[in-house]
A and B are shown apart, each in its own frame.
Chain A
Amino acid sequence: MAIELDKVSYIYHINTPFASTALHEISLTIFEGETLGITGDIGSGKSTLLQLTGGLIKPSGGRVLKDGRDLARLSKRELSALHRRVGLVFQHPETQIFAYQVFDEIAFGPRNAGLKPAAVTERVKWALRAVGLPDGFQNRHTAALSAGEQRRVAIAGVLASKPAWILLDEPTAGLDGEGISQVMATLSAFGQQPGQTVVMVSHDLRQLLAISDRIVWLKAGKVWLDLRREEIIDHYQILHESAILPEVLNVMHALNEKGWQLDPAALTPSTLATAIAEHLRGEKQPCKD
C-alpha cells in the first residue's frame, strides 16, 4: 500500500474570515515499509499533513490516493478497512485514555478486532514491552501514572492493534530524556519490521534522524525539502541557514570539509561515533555488495 498526496491543499475554516491555508498543493508519496519523518516550523502544516494521510480530514483541493484510488471515492466499508490498517497517535494521546486499568486501555483495540482473551493478554504484554514498560504494569490504574507512563500506555494502545501504518504527531513532547529514549527505541524497532510503515511528525530533527529513511521539511504549507537519509548531509548549508541543527550534522559536515568521507547515513551520535572511530583507525568503510 502506498499513500499518495496529489496536489493537496487544506484550508482551515474555509469560507470564513478566519480561513487560513495550512497546506498548498502538496504532492508526496509515502511508500509501504518506509519510516518517514516530517518536520517544519510552527504552523507549517505538519499535523494537517498527518491527518490527511490518515484519512481523518478531507483535502480542500487535490486528492489523497491509496494504491492509486481516491480516498474520497472509497465506500464506507473500504474506508473503515483502511482505518483498521492505520494507527494514529495524536498529540497528547494520554488525554484520550478512558479505561481505569492499563490492561483494559491497551486491550480495547485487540478486543474489538475479535481476538480471544488469551491472545488479547499476549498482545497487551507485547505492547507494554514494546514501549519499555515492565510486566505487571497492566494491573496499574491509568489515573495514577506519571505523564511519561501515560504517554507510553497510550502509544501501546495504538501498537496493540498492530497497524501496518503508524502515524505519530510529536510522540515525545513533554517526556523526560529517558522517556524520549524509550519511545524512540520503540519506534525504531517497530519501523524495522518488514512492511511496517511509520510516519512521524516532530519539530526535533534529532529524533527524526534517529529513525527515518527519509525526511520531508515543510515550510509555509509546502514541501520545502524531501530528502533520503543519505542525501541530508549534502544539503547542510541550506538546512543550516534555516534552523539550529543537531550536532551530528555540524560535526559530520565539518569533518567532510576536511576531506573525511564518512558514511552519509551515520546521522545519530552512536553511528557517527562508529564511523569516526573507523576513520581514525584507518579502517575502510565496510563495502556494500
Chain B
Amino acid sequence: MQDVSLDIAGGEFLAIMGRNASGKSTLTRLIGGLLLPYAGEVEVDGINTRNPESSRRLRQLVGLMLTGADRQFVSNIVEEDLAFGPENMGLPANQIRQRVDTALKMVAMEEFAKHPPYLLSGGQKARIALAGLLAMNPRYLILDEPFSYMDSRSTVELIGLLQRWREDEQGTLILVTHDQQTVRQADHIAVLQEGRICFNGTPEELLGQEQDKLRQWGIEPPEISLLAEEIDQHLNWPAVGHVSDSGQLVERLWQLN
C-alpha cells in the first residue's frame, strides 16, 4: 500500500477490484485492524485501529471474512461454529441461540444447523462462514472474495442476502471481488494497482473506461463490449460502437443488417 486515501460512507456498498497481488487483501486487513499501517491512519467509526484499548470494540464493529474462510471452522457442528463469536462476546445463552438461528436464516441454511461444516459443499461453507460473521451483529462487513466457487445463481442469492442485511441493519458492505455482475450493484468501486488506488467511482464510470485500461487493471471488460469491439474490428469501422447490454447490441446489429 502506498499513500492510499479512501472514505467509506456508512451504509455504502463498496467493491474493491484489482489484479492478484495489487493490495486488495492488505486493504481489507488494514480496515479490519488485523494489520497496522506503517504510515498514515485508519479510522472506523472514529476508532483508530492503532488504539489497543478499543480493539475489542473494533472487532465487534467489523466482521471480516478472509479468503479461504471455508477452511477456518472452529467446530464440528455448524451451529456451534456460529455460536463461537457471540459466546466470546459474553452473551447469555438465550441470546446466543437467537443470534445463531437468525444468522442461519439470513443465509438460508437453517436445515444444516446440526451438520458438520466440513461435509458441506464449497458454496455452502461460504454461507456458513458468512453466518458466523452475522451472528456477531457487525456494522461493517468486509468480505474478501466470497464467491470464487459459486455459480451465478448462488452469487446473486448471496448478494441479495447481503443487500437485505444492509437495508435492515444500515450496515456497510465492503467486498473484494472479480465478479462483474456483482460489482454492478455496488455504490462505489475502488480499483487498486500496485498498492495504490487507480480508480474510484461508480460501476458505470468504471465499465465505461477504455478496454485496454480495464485490462491493465486486471479487469476483464464486459462480455458485451468485447463482442462489440471485435465485430467493429472485423468490419473495420465503428459500426456497433458503445453498447451496454445484449438487447442494445442485437438492436444495433439488426439495424446494420
Interface centre among A248, A251, A279, by most chain B C-beta atoms within 10 angstroms, is A251
Chain A interface residues toward B at CB < 8 A: 12-13, 18, 20, 39-43, 47, 91-92, 146-149, 170, 173-181, 203-206, 243-244, 246-248, 250-251, 254-255, 258, 260, 269-270, 272-274, 276-281
Known: A47-B122, A178-B19, A203-B151. 12 other contacts (CB 8 A): A20-B119, A42-B123, A42-B150, A148-B20, A177-B219, A203-B149, A205-B152, A243-B153, A248-B223, A251-B224, A277-B231, A280-B253
Residue contact A251 to B149, C-beta cutoff 8 Å: no
Residue contact B253 to A177, C-beta cutoff 8 Å: no
Residue contact A177 to B220, C-beta cutoff 8 Å: yes
B contacts with A, residue count (CB < 8 A): 50
Within B144-160, the residues touching A (CB, 8 Å) are: 145, 148-154, 156
In the bound assembly, the distance between CA atoms of A173 and B150 in angstroms comes to 9
Contacts of B218 in A (CB 8 A): 176-179
User: Could you write out 28 A-B pairs with CB less than 8 Å apart?
Assistant: A40-B151, A41-B151, A41-B153, A43-B120, A43-B123, A146-B20, A148-B19, A148-B20, A149-B20, A170-B122, A176-B178, A176-B219, A177-B218, A178-B215, A178-B218, A203-B149, A203-B150, A203-B152, A203-B154, A204-B152, A248-B223, A248-B227, A251-B224, A254-B247, A258-B254, A269-B230, A270-B230, A273-B230
Within the complex, which residue of B21, B68, B181 is in contact with A92, where a contact is CB–CB below 8 Å? B68
Q: Is the interface of B mostly helix, strand, loop or mixed?
A: helix
Contacts of B249 in A (CB 8 A): 251
Q: Mark B54-77, 1 if CB is under 8 A from A, else 0.
A: 000000000000011000000000
Closest to A250 in B: B246
CB within 8 Å for A176 and B20 given contacts A12-B119, A43-B124, A203-B152? yes
